[in-house]
Chains A and B, each alone.
Chain A
Amino acid sequence: MILNQFKGKVALLVIALCFIVGCNESPTTNSQQVVNDFVKGSYNNILKQNKNQPYLLMFWSQDCAYCMKELELLGSLVKSHPEAKLITVATDPFLDVNFIRNKMASFGLQDTQAWVFAEPHAETLYFEVSPRWRGELPFTILVDGDNQKTKKIGMLSEHVITTWLSKV
């Protein structure tokens, strides 16, 4: 009886240890960046999950040369301000996640939160993010700690980023 109880405790201990090990295998220690599906409701989830904290949400596309320039700029930002939280969303529906990972890594953004449109018709997601957004890219939303949003269609200027950083 005592032996069985002892075995039970040891099993519990083993499970707990596995739990710890499992939890520490978080995405930052995983070599593969998580790429989340951006579907209807995702935008609101991002807003909720990041409530009262500053972050920068950037929408891009593989065919958008300006987006590449902005991603490059954001890569520099992450280096100089590692505390800044960046979230990127690829607007090409179901874009290959390895392509996204490679693209993010090429800009030093492999540790940021990445999403990809996962609805066949991108404009339904444009509408949810902002009814006046017609899909022009890049599109960036800068949110400060008071949940105030600055929406910027077109490439960000350093001045806009600096102003946002001053509130971070």
Chain B
Amino acid sequence: MNKQKLIVALAVVVLSVGLFSYIQYGCSNKAAVTAETADKKPASRRHQTTGVVSVDIKEHNGTLHLLLGKNEQGQHSVWYQTSTDQGQTWSEAVNTTADLDISAKFHRGNDARLAVQEDNIVAVWMSRVDGAPHNAGPMMSVRSSDAGQSWQAATMPADWEGPHGFFAMDGNDEKISLVWLDSREQIGKGSQGLRYTSSSDGGQTWLENKTLDRQTCACCWNTARFDEQGQLYVLYRDKLPSDMAIGQVNKQDEWQRLSTVGAFNWDFQGCPHIGGSLAFDESRQLFHATVTTGEESKAGVHYLNSADQGQHWNTPVQLGSDTAVHSDLAVAAGGQLLATWDQITATGFEVVYATSYDQGQTWTEQQQLSTLGIRASHPRVVAVDDAFVVVWTQTNADNVQELQTKLISHDS
């Protein structure tokens, strides 16, 4: 009997020690132990956004040119389409990379970009190099000299073979110009530099690269547009502070930084992943821009314009709420403006727009573009004769990202 009591007492002691040990180490260990913590997941659950993961759109002489980067089961490809009826119908898509084995690192915010110069069309994107820092690789380029019917691999525009990203391109009668970010020369922590080159033979050869700004944001998209005089304007996110800036490359390929676009004095040591947009109203001599800031008291998307070719900008007008993030805008021949942006909600991004009929002085209430509750982001807009064409990507029920298009009348 005594022996049995001794065994029971011993068992109680052992259980008590066990319980104490569990409480002390099992429940309050530095490594989390929660309902979600059972680390039985496989080491690799590689998640990739599939479907349309990159979008660029340009209007050139009445034709819309669309470039889509796709990821289908890990296979990347770049597709080109046109529309000659203001986005109502589109040509059959051409796989520009059909003869190439590409591994691309493009996503919304670091999209493949295109430039159009009559029948010459050039597209560029960041390649993916597994194991490289951020898996980022040198740019890849394809070109067409028959208005997009056939495509071939093109000479790399960069003369430095490290990773390049956040491209912006435009073309006019004389040249195709390209800007991008790379870290061939590192100035300060986590920054890259803004580089430039151009081609006067439709993307067959490129000029020696130039540095436009040695220290810029490392991860924000750029915007580049030619004006009618053949000067290229580049909108990019600067450093110290991290406000947007604009500069001009003249016809002699000389660079001049013009101004800060939205002087919010946002001092940000990090990665915003947000650029801006730029549109020209040549007939009214107005530059229009949208920029995003994270400066605490002014967070969100802001509209500004300049009446002196980007030397000075008016007081910013905030568009939407402080959760607005990625924006674009376009100006119609009649001066009407449409700005579109996405904003974060509890169910993810949604896309909205607003219009202005007085050169940006006042704006309509924001209108919903994407379906409520469906994740939609990164809208782009171009103006055509009678309408604005807005495109964006949204996730369908199968969790695949699709392109969405909407035509909005200039007068609506």
Contact = CB atoms under 8 A, between A and B. Distances in A.
A67 B292 CA distance: 21
A150 interface: no
Contact of B29 (A17, A26, A126, A127): A26
B271 A28 contact: no
Of the candidates B25, B32, B44, B322, the one having the most CB atoms from chain A within 10 angstroms of its own CB is B32
A131 B344 CA distance: 8
B14 interface: yes
Contacts of A136: 268, 270-273, 294
Nearest to B6: A9
A134 B294 contact: yes
A26 B26 contact: yes
A134 B45 contact: no
A46 to B, nearest CB: 8
Contact of A134 (B26, B190, B325, B345): B325
Interface string B139-151: 0000000000000
Contact of B190 (A16, A27, A65): A65
16 contacts: A9-B8, A12-B11, A13-B7, A23-B22, A23-B25, A45-B35, A65-B134, A97-B39, A111-B31, A113-B32, A121-B349, A132-B299, A134-B272, A136-B272, A136-B294, A155-B189
B34 A16 contact: no
B238 to A, nearest CB: 15
B190 A66 contact: yes
B99 interface: no
Interface string B295-332: 00001000000000000000000000011010000000
B346 A124 contact: yes
Interface of B: 4, 7-8, 10-11, 14-15, 17-18, 21-22, 25-26, 29-37, 39, 41, 43-47, 49, 134, 136, 189-190, 218-219, 267-274, 292, 294, 299, 322-323, 325, 344-349, 375, 377, 395, 399
A164 B47 CA distance: 35
Interface in A118-155: 120-121, 123-124, 126-128, 131-132, 134-139, 153-155
Interface string A23-36: 11011100011111
Contacts of B11: 9, 12-13, 16
Interface residues on A, range: 35 or more
Contacts, number: 177
Q: Give the dominant DSSP class at A's interface.
A: mixed
B409 to A, nearest CB: 30
- A-B CB proximity, top 9 nearest: A27-B31, A94-B47, A65-B190, A155-B269, A154-B270, A16-B14, A9-B7, A19-B18, A66-B190
Nearest to A2: B4
A35 B322 CA distance: 32
B301 to A, nearest CB: 10
Contacts of A134: 272, 274, 292, 294, 299, 323, 325, 344
A62 interface: yes
B274 to A, nearest CB: 7
A23 B18 contact: yes
